[in-house]
Structure 1
Amino acid sequence: MVVEVEKATLPRLHYEHLRLSDPSNTVCSLQTHSNNTHIVAIVPLNACGTQIEEDADDLLFKNEITTEDNSSALITRRHQVEMKFFCQYSKRGNVTFSFSAHRDNVTVWDKGFGQFTYGFEFYPDQRFTSRIAPRMYPLEFDVGDRIFMEIEATTPVNNTELFVESCTAAPYDNSNYPHPYTLIENGCNLDSTLIIYSTPNKNEFRFSIEAFKFIGLHDMVYISCSVVMCEAGNSRTRCSRGCQPNGTRRAKREAVIESRTHYVSQGPLRLRRAAQTGNTGKLQGLNSNLVFIAVCALAAVGMICGVLLCYKGL
């Protein structure tokens, strides 16, 4: 709390005798901050004799400035000046926080290529005409829906091409997740539903997969890819070698024809929860069994009644 009192409003006092409720702490001295025109008190909320009170809605921190003629005396019978003050804090408040689930573009610098940018976006269909707006994230899909994605590199260097070396999916936003699902590895397609679309721009990579969910309670999926920029048409680059199932080790990088490996990611994708079809099937089977049992029971009742009637006739 900060309190300022204009000295002109006070009677003639020995200002050096002014004190807070607890003058024993040096931080509670009023002389430290006062000036020629004002008495200034900087009062901690938990020291200098500050008292805390509360009601249903507020916390009140109270203290006072008093004066004494003899600082060593314990009591006085002279009238003292008392300037009571307090700060009031509401016990309730609203806190808001916002964030964007959409990942921003990744800007990197690489020797031989300078500064360039990677973008990873999702699209509503295979026309790839307009990306899905960032405000729509996290995106929702049903299992089996086709998800359309594009990775694009923007660079001031002409005659370049983009190569996607690997892509994985994970239920957490963690690049070190121990058991990701692999879509592309060493430039080879591993997911049976993956489709790669041709594009006239060599710095774009467009592909799609069918939506899936991780077994268990995980309903989020994050997609991460490792990418390389190369000099277009150069047979010595990683881009030109394409799929290498055995994971052939990359040759020593030539800075002017090939970049380092960079990582881009996007997500999360949220998989809509649906009724378990297996449980439905079991219920249907159970209902059929109940119907069959009921029919048999009715037939048995009919047979018993028939026997009783015949017996009565005899």
Structure 2
Amino acid sequence: MRCVVVKVKKPKVPPKSHVICNESSMTILVEKATLPPVNEDDLQLNDPSNTDCNLKSNSTHIFCVVPLSQCGTQIKEDDDNLVFTNEITTSEGTNDMITRKNLLEVEFSCKYPKRGNVSQNFSVHRKNITVFEKGMGEFTYTFEFYEDDSYQDMIDPESYPLEVTMESKLFMKIEATSSLDNTELFVESCRASPYDNPNYHKTYSIITDGCNVDPTVNVYPIANKNHFEFSMEAFKFIGTYEQVYISCSVIMCEAGNLNTRCSQGCMKSPSSPLFVKRETAIQSGKHSVSQGPLRLKRSAENSNSSAIALNLAFIAGCVLAAAGMILGVVMYKAKASKI
């Protein structure tokens, strides 16, 4: 004899949600009535450090407008589409890195075709990012390009995407405005990508662990600890990529405190990560700022070469056509004489 025990459980029904895909963002709406019993304050996106990534709610829904380049949005691609994905999860509050409750996972995504017709104008210039952290207050990051190393004339946001020539100097400035006086800015890393997403797999390192990686990078020493000015030579990605975005990971610290990442500077062989107690609030988490796109300007030499090549091709075509016509006339006359 055999005894078979069958446990019948209520099937787990996923929450009802709706996603709206826009040009530069995804809007997620989740029905409250379909959610498990969770605290709304414990719900978060992949990267909740930016105030733009905070989930909002009304009497019926939990919702958020998620920028495609922020909030930990991941990007994947195939031959025809770009897919942007994010997720609403439950945070335990004591540790932002992991969770073992796993009470809620709502993954949402938007798919965009790589090829299409653009019929509407929109601004490609990246806006300022405002962040609030407990104990550190509120601070705003600005990332802009400038005309020269005097950093007096900022390039007009309306002129984006910026057209640059190969190996020309790019002058960039990251600025942090904080509600606290005794703070300093540290740029931990910078990298370039063909898309405005630091998580895209094809990236080129410019600064890593506070150290210059690209040989053309030049960091300018300045008195203001909340400014970071640097330059590098323009380049393009090999292949069919037509644009370049620059993304940087930045940290805000208590100025002059030797126990912060800012005070350590360049770490070519970092050992264990710096341990900072949350209650001390001497430094912020890492935040991502980006700017672009940059596009390679076609030089006059290349344009002239293309025009010459087109003219030569046209002349060669005319010569071949004329030769064909003459040959046809000769053959016709030969046949006529035989008749």
TM-score (norm 2): 0.52
CA apart distance, 1:179: 2.5
| 1:265 aligns to 2:290 (yes or no) | yes
Q: 1:209 aligns with which of 226, 232, 250?
A: 232
Which string of whole-angstrom CA distances, capped at 9 and with x for unpartnered residues, describes residues 152-178 of structure 1?
A: 000010111000000000112222211
In 2: Cα distance, 1:140 partner to 1:276 partner: 15
Q: 1:183 aligns with which of 203, 206, 229?
A: 206
CA spacing shift, 1:273–1:216, aligned 2, 3 Å = farther
1:110 corresponding residue in structure 2: 133
Alignment size in residue pairs: 186
Q: 1:163 aligns with which of 186, 193, 197?
A: 186
CA apart distance, 1:276: 6.5
CA apart distance, 1:142: 0.3
- SS of the residue corresponding to residue 176 of structure 1 reads coil
| Unaligned 5+ runs, structure 1 | 1-94, 284-314
Supply the RMSD in Å over aligned alpha carbons.
2.2
- SS of the residue corresponding to residue 125 of structure 1 reads coil
- SS of the residue corresponding to residue 196 of structure 1 reads strand
2:264 corresponding residue in structure 1: 241
| 1:138 aligns to 2:149 (yes or no) | no
In 1: Cα distance, 2:210 partner to 2:121 partner: 38
In 2: Cα distance, 1:197 partner to 1:190 partner: 16
- SS of the residue corresponding to residue 172 of structure 1 reads coil
- In terms of mean alpha carbon deviation, does 244-253 or 228-237 score higher? 244-253
In 2: Cα distance, 1:115 partner to 1:249 partner: 28
1:18 corresponding residue in structure 2: none
In 2: Cα distance, 1:195 partner to 1:175 partner: 22
CA apart distance, 1:273: 3.1
| 1:225 aligns to 2:248 (yes or no) | yes
Which string of whole-angstrom CA distances, capped at 9 and with x for unpartnered residues, describes residues 263-297 of structure 1?
A: 100010111134679x99xx9xxxxxxxxxxxxxx
What code does the residue aligned with 2:152 have?
A: T
| 1:125 aligns to 2:129 (yes or no) | no
In 2: Cα distance, 1:98 partner to 1:252 partner: 46
What code does the residue aligned with 1:264 have?
A: V
CA spacing shift, 1:190–1:163, aligned 2, 3 Å = same
Does the Cα contact within 8 Å between 1:253 and 1:259 map onto a contact in 2?
A: no
Fraction of identical pairs, as percent: 53
| 1:152 aligns to 2:146 (yes or no) | no
CA apart distance, 1:180: 0.6
- SS of the residue corresponding to residue 251 of structure 2 reads strand
In 2: Cα distance, 1:162 partner to 1:218 partner: 32
In 1: Cα distance, 2:166 partner to 2:119 partner: 33
| 1:173 aligns to 2:196 (yes or no) | yes
Q: Which runs of 4+ in 1 moved over 6 A?
A: none
- SS of the residue corresponding to residue 232 of structure 2 reads strand
In 2: Cα distance, 1:249 partner to 1:272 partner: 44
Alignment of 1:272-291 (within 5 A): 272-274=297-299
In 1: Cα distance, 2:174 partner to 2:152 partner: 14
Does the Cα contact within 8 Å between 2:196 and 2:290 map onto a contact in 1?
A: no
Does the Cα contact within 8 Å between 2:185 and 2:253 map onto a contact in 1?
A: yes
- SS of the residue corresponding to residue 239 of structure 1 reads helix
What code does the residue aligned with 1:237 have?
A: T
